[in-house]
Amino acid sequence: MQQLLFAIFTMVGGVLACVAYFFGTNFLLDKMFPSKGLTGAQASKNLRITNAIRPWLFMAPALFALTVYLVYPVFESVRLAFHDRSGQQFIGFSNFAWMINDGEFRQSIFNNFLWLLVVPALSTFFGLIVAALTDRIWWGNIAKTLIFMPMAISFVGASVIWKFVYDYRAEGSEQIGILNAVVVAFGGTPEAWMTIPFWNNFFLMVILIWIQTGFAMVILSAALRGIPEETIEAAVIDGANGLQIFFKIMVPQIWGTIAVVWTTITILVLKVFDIVLAMTNGQWQTQVLANLMFDWMFRGGGDFGRGASIAVVIMILVIPIMIWNIRNATKEMEGH
Footprint of another protein on residues 93-122 (CB under 8 A)? none
- Shortest distance (Å) from residue 197 CB to another protein: 20
Site string for another protein, 38-57 (x = CB under 8 A): -------------xx-xxx-
Cβ at position 328, least distance to another protein in Å: 5
> How far apart are CB 208 and another protein at their closest, in Å?
13
| Residue choice 125, 196, 260, 284 for contact with another protein (CB under 8 A) | 260
Q: Which residues pair with 90 in a beta bridge?
A: 83
Closest CA to 288 of 161, 119, 121: 119
In angstroms, give the least distance from the CB of 227 to another protein.
8
Q: Which of 41, 92, 225, 300 binds another protein (CB under 8 A)?
A: 225
22 part of the interface to another protein, by CB under 8 A: yes
Binding another protein by CB under 8 A: which of 63, 97, 100, 234? 63
Among 115, 193, 203, 294, binds another protein (CB under 8 A): 294
Any contact of residue 133 with another protein (CB under 8 A)? yes
247 touches another protein by CB under 8 A: no
135 lies in the site for another protein, by CB under 8 A: yes
